[in-house]
Amino acid sequence: MSSFEAAFHAGVPGIELDVHLTADEKLVVFHDDTTGRIELKIQPEEPARNLCLEVSSLAELRSLSIGTHIPLLDELFECFGDSLYYDIELKSRSKADTGLASKVAAAICSHNLESNCIISSFNPFALCHFRKAKSTIPVGIIWSNSNELYWFLRHGEGALISKSDFLKPESSLFANMASRSPLHLLPWFSGSQEKPIIPWTVNEPEKACDFIDQGVAGIISDIADEILIRFRAEREPAAAFDPPQKLSLKA
């Protein structure tokens, strides 16, 4: 939660977060599928329990000594409300409907944050399940060249399965929008020229500003506050963009 609070106080208008469904059906905000990496980072001298979020209860997860407690999605919404924009990544490796999508949709609606949220995932089937639960909130496919992805999902093919409203390629795949249109990224995807693009993770301010000049719909970054300062310092007010639509802090 501290990273989100830092982003908010720095004036960053939006945050990107990862949501898992625990064994007792709680929506927790946590990046990794397991806790081991963070445990070792916080207490390297102690053996890690390395719990898997999807098969652990909230109580088990919060019993770990990994700094501040793992927040619930509801707690995040209660803390920041409509003062932020949320790019919510659904973390699920299942093709089946696990209940994650519908519960996230319900949480968004219960806090009246439909206009503040977009949904993204590496898993196109999770996006399909979300679209069935709440069709009015935009969904977008994430992809990279990582070997952790199935080979048929490494070039954005999941956009076709999920009928994505926007695209989230790894920044190295975005290249130069002036010479590479979205159609180049997805040559088989009809209408991809009109799909908004949000590259990740962009941690070089100069590159981020260049991407913004090329017309990206948003930026995912670990240093969004620095990028925001750099952009505002280098551009005239008339050239400034609307921050809520352009920056997101990865946490």
Distances (CA, A) of 71 to 17, 37, 58, 78: 11, 17, 10, 11
Chain centroid to CA 190: how far?
24
DSSP 131: H
Comparing C-alpha atoms, which of 121, 80, 91 is closest to residue 19?
A: 91
For residue 241, the model assigns a pLDDT of 41
- Flag whether pLDDT at 187 surpasses 80: no
What are 3-15's pLDDT values in tens digits?
A: 899 999 999 999 9
Comparing C-alpha atoms, which of 93, 35, 89, 41 is closest to residue 60?
A: 35
- Flag whether pLDDT at 127 surpasses 70: yes
Is the pTM above the cut of 0.85?
yes
- Mean pLDDT on 166-171: 93
Residue 103 CA to residue 145 CA, distance in Å, equals 30
- Flag whether pLDDT at 238 surpasses 60: no
End-to-end CA distance of the chain: 9
CATH 3.40.50.410 assigned to 2-250: no
For residue 2, the model assigns a pLDDT of 87
Task: Give 192's pLDDT tier (boundaries 50, 70, 90).
Answer: low
Residue 20 CA to residue 109 CA, distance in Å, equals 18
For residue 244, the model assigns a pLDDT of 42
E runs forming strands in 78-148? 85-90, 117-121, 139-143
